[in-house]
Each structure stands twice: as structure tokens, then as C-alpha cells.
Amino acid sequence: MSEGTMQIAAGDNVWHLHSAHLVWLPGTVLHDMTLLTEGCMIAAYARPDLRPTGLRWAQPLVLEVDALSAQLLRHLADRTIDDARRLMSQELLYDILAAAPERHDVLAVPRNAAASSVSARILADPADSRTLGEWAGELGVSSKTLMRAFVADTGITFGQWRTRARMYASLEMLARGEGVNDVAPQVGYRTSSGFIAAFRETFGTTPARYGGKLMR
């Protein structure tokens, strides 16, 4: 996604992604993509025999996209470039991606039935402040069972997952041009300062700076 946010289901994974992410999908992996906001998605396709070597590339990956690799993808999307330039650009892109770190700040959706139910309702209403114990009681499971499900399926705790879900929801609102004071309560924060602190912790920048980037 060069702009906006999206959800992608690939194999056993369901991820919410934003513009700092680049997804690598082997040709044999069934996948489904849903745009969550207005934006721009660049999709590049290559023959399987041209993919980088190594076991790393045999599975879906979320990688960090830097300015150069993003520009190369835009260049490869230009259908007017000749085959020689396209091959050179593709080889350079693969060389960059070979050393690109994996991104672990994606919002994975849990597969466990109870945890999946909780995640779906939080995604629908990020301001929902019910505790893990309250969710567990409503679903008739123990808090420990629900906590273990979130950690096993997403790699983070319920509290960390909810914070990340709220931050991702805020990206959609910022993309629409809403201000921080309006966004904060919609994603469960009583104060703008609390929302800004959580946003900075998640994305490494402030909502104002990120929102400005989205609107460009």
C-alpha cells in the first residue's frame, strides 16, 4: 500500500497493513485483499523462477518498504518501460528486499474462535473498553484461555493487540482528514495526549505528521 490501509488473508495469516509494509506472496498461496481506506495499492507479479533464492521466500512475508523499493515498484508498474530496464529494476528490487527486515507491527487477527469473536467486535468498535475478563465472561471461557489464544495466534497480549487495533483504526480516520481531538475518543482514549503517546509508541511519529503524509 503506497497510501491507505488494507487487510490481507494469506494462508493461515490475516493481517492489517499500512503504507510502511510490503507483502511478499509466493505464487502458490491463496490470498484475499480488502482495502480498508481510500488509497493506492501497487501489485507486482513475477514468474516463480525469477523469485529470490532461499527458504525465506517460500512463505508469505511482511517486509519493510523503504523509499527506494517503493519507487522501484512504481517504476515496474509503468507498462511503457522496455524489457531490459524492467529486468534491471527487478534485480535491484530483489537485491534490496533480500536484506529488508521483516515487519512485526502488523495487526494479526487471531484464528481461535473466541479470540476471533473478540477481535472482530473491537475492530468494529475500537472504543470498546471491556476487559479481557469481561470478554471471557460473555463468551463463557476463562480469561487465561482467551489470553493464551491471543498470544498464540498474534504473538502479542490482548492489551497490546487492542492498542494496535485502535492505532490502525485511527489511520483510517486520519486519512479522512479528522483531527486528533475527534479521533482520540473514537478509538478509546479519554485524552488526546494519551492517544498521541500510544500512536507515537506504535508508529514512531505523531498523528499530525502521519496524517500529513496520508493526505499528500
Last residue of a domain, one of 77, 98, 119: 98
**Half-sphere exposure (CA, 13 Å, Cβ side) for 66?**
11
Q: What is the mean pLDDT of the chain?
A: 86
Amino acid at 128: D
pLDDT digits (tens, 9 = 90+) for 126-174: 999 999 999 999 999 999 999 999 999 888 999 999 999 999 889 878 8
Separation of alpha carbons 155 and 37, rounded Å: 25
Clarify whether residues 16 and 55 are in a common domain. Answer: yes
Q: How many CB atoms lie within 10 A of CB 186?
A: 16
Clarify whether residues 115 and 189 are in a common domain. Answer: yes
Clarify whether residues 86 and 140 are in a common domain. Answer: no
Pull the grid cell for residue 107.
Answer: 495487526
The alpha carbon of 40 is separated from its chain's Cα centroid by a whole number of angstroms, namely 14
Last residue of a domain, one of 98, 125, 140: 98
Clarify whether residues 79 and 131 are in a common domain. Answer: no
Pull the grid cell for residue 216.
Answer: 499528500
Separation of alpha carbons 194 and 169, rounded Å: 16
Q: Which residue range is the domain that position 122 belongs to?
A: 110-215
Q: Per DSSP, which regions of 3-73 are E strands?
A: 6-10, 13-17, 21-24, 31-35, 61-64
In a domain, 1, yes or no: no
Q: What pLDDT is attached to residue 180?
A: 93
Separation of alpha carbons 10 and 25, rounded Å: 8
Clarify whether residues 35 and 89 are in a common domain. Answer: yes
Note the helical H segments in 62-203: 67-76, 83-98, 113-124, 132-139, 143-154, 158-175, 180-186, 192-203
In a domain, 61, yes or no: yes
Q: What pLDDT is attached to residue 145?
A: 94
Clarify whether residues 121 and 74 are in a common domain. Answer: no
- Residue length of the chain: 216
CATH assignment of the domain containing 190 = 1.10.10.60
Domain count, the chain: 2
Q: What pLDDT is attached to residue 216?
A: 37
Separation of alpha carbons 109 and 107, rounded Å: 6
Clarify whether residues 115 and 94 are in a common domain. Answer: no
Last residue of a domain, one of 98, 123, 144: 98
Name the DSSP letter for residue 27: T
In a domain, 104, yes or no: no
The list of the chain residues with pLDDT below 70 reads 211-216
Torsion angle of C-alpha atoms 209, 75, 32, 150, degrees rounded to 10: -40
Clarify whether residues 87 and 122 are in a common domain. Answer: no
In a domain, 105, yes or no: no
